[in-house]
Structure 1
Amino acid sequence: MTIEIDDTDRAILRALSRDASLSAGQIGRRLGLSQPATWRRIKRLREAGVISGTRLLLDREKLGFGVTVFLGIKLATKGRISLEDFERAVTAIPEVQTVEHILGLYDYRLRIVARDLSDFERVLRRRIMTLPGAGQVEANVVLSEERLPGPLG
């Protein structure tokens, strides 16, 4: 379902993307709309699939995960293993935060969190490298991360 999104809808989406816990009344007050009008717009955006859920962002460092690594993986035996088998196995690893099937030098890009570099090495050796079809890997350790504005500014 495709819907028209106007400037007010964009303002609502920006507010929710910064703080998804805001109520329709709080957003409406910021934008000069009534609570019912804001609620109807949010409901319409949800029903159209523009808003597909609400996420809780956790502070990985405060939870003890001080290292984030992007890992490129090239499958060793493309013809012998199905992509679904690899994806099913890799998504079962709790330290793997995202799995992206990509075009380029590598077949997959993973975002992995670990307590420290030795913990990452353990995850790499015992969990990632034992995956069905896992071949060449390249690790990029994240030194710092900044939140950039999304497509709505």
Structure 2
Amino acid sequence: MIELDDLDRQILRALVRDATQSASALGRRIGLSQPATWRRIKRLEEAGVIRGRQLRVNAEALGFGVTVFLGVKLATKGRVSLEDFERAVSAIPEVQTVEHVLGLYDYRLRIVARNLADFERVLRRRIMTLPGAGQVEANVLLSEERLAGPI
């Protein structure tokens, strides 16, 4: 585990808000030179604190107006490997995240669809035909108040 100081935390908060900003602009904002800021970012990346930078798109602006969290319980544990299920479900374009969880369900999926009819199509034709797919429970996202941020 890496020790983080206040400057490291400021860098992480700033990058979570806007990962596209330059080390120079970020350094000016927190009172460090560009090389010192760049070295800190590099150290955080090498330590695994920063795992990458992602582009976030507005799914609704692209025509995907429905987000569903789907709990999936595997029907045939032991007969279908977890890796086979994960590989198959990850190949479905509408599935944004695949989380192996502990609890009532084995997996939690975040799925985007154009509308509820489109989600039903994805569920019937893609999810329920996966190897080992069993019981499912859908929860439709009504609103998202807080986006993922630093711990």
Instruction: Calculate the TM-score normalised by the size of structure 2.
Output: 0.96
Q: Which residue of 2 aligns with 1:96?
A: 95
Q: 1:5-20 counterparts in 2 under 5 A?
A: 5-20=4-19
Structure 2: distance between partners of 1:132 and 1:20: 38
Residues 1:86 and 2:85 aligned together: yes
With over 3 angstroms needed to count, the CA separation of the structure-2 counterparts of 1:31 and 1:51, relative to structure 1, is: same
1:66 paired residue number:
65
Aligned to 2:43: 44
The equivalent residue for 1:25 is 24
The match for 2:133 is 134
In 2, the alpha carbon distance for the partners of 1:62 and 1:30 equals 32
Q: SS where residue 126 of structure 2 aligns?
A: helix
3-state SS, counterpart of residue 112 of structure 1? strand
* TM-score scaled by length of structure 1: 0.95
Number of matched pairs: 151
For residues 87 and 78 of structure 1, the distance between their equivalents in structure 2, rounded to whole angstroms, comes to 13
Whole-angstrom CA distance in 2 between matches of 1:97 and 1:123: 13
C-alpha distance in 1, partners of 2:57/2:122? 21
Specify the alignment match of 1:143 in structure 2. 142
RMSD: 1.1
Aligned position for 2:54:
55
> How big is each residue's C-alpha offset from its partner over 1:32-90, in whole Å with a ceiling of 9 and x where there is no partner?
11111111111111111111111000000001100000000111111211111111110
Q: What is aligned with 1:3?
A: 2
Which consecutive unaligned segments of at least 5 residues does structure 1 have?
none
SS of alignment partner, residue 80 of structure 1: coil
Aligned to 2:115: 116
- The one-letter code of the counterpart of 2:38 is W
SS at the partner of 2:62?
coil
Between the aligned partners of 1:45 and 1:148, the Cα distance in structure 2 is 22
CA displacement, residues 115-134 of structure 1 (integer Å, 9 cap, x when unaligned)? 00000000000000000111
Q: Specify the SS of the correspondent of 2:37.
A: helix
**Uncovered stretches (5+) of structure 2, i.e. residues with no partner:** none
- CA-CA distance at 1:149 after TM superposition: 6.2
Aligned counterparts of 2:8 and 2:80: Cα–Cα separation in 1: 44
Q: For 1:12, give the aligned amino acid.
A: I
